[in-house]
Amino acid sequence: MCTADEIAFFLGISIDTLSRRITETYGCTFADYHKKHIVSAIISLRRAQWKNAMKGNATMQIWLGKQYLGQKNNMDLVVATSPMEGLKKAWACVEEDLK
């Protein structure tokens, strides 16, 4: 899942050399080669995330729920013009939750 810059730096070659070698060896551009092989990495990563969630990793369960089930954190915000008005609105919310 590395970029062309990262791969070239790691190998100690220029991006042009990397691109040329991929074209010579595989008959396609770096972008096409990268796209073809990144899919496997993405699938592996999703599989690992799913396994972690199924093993009880609550953080991963929450994240996957947000990504795939449309779940989100809701926060109620009370805006008041005076402290007493804010207290009344907050108390009304608490009473509503207790019903």
Average pLDDT of the residues in 64-83:
78
Residue 28 pLDDT class (50, 70, 90 cuts): very high
Amino acid at position 94, single letter: V
According to the 3-state scheme, what is the secondary structure of the chain?
CCCHHHHHHHHCCCHHHHHHHHHHHHCCCHHHHHHHHHHHHHHHHHHHHHHHHHCCCHHHHHHHHHHHCCCCCCCCCCCCCCHHHHHHHHHHHHHHHHC
32-51: pLDDT as tens digits: 999 989 998 889 988 999 99
Share of the chain above pLDDT 90, in %: 53
40, 22, 38, 41: which is closest to 30 by C-alpha?
22
Residue 82 confidence (pLDDT): 74
Rounded (10°) CA dihedral 32, 33, 34, 40: 110
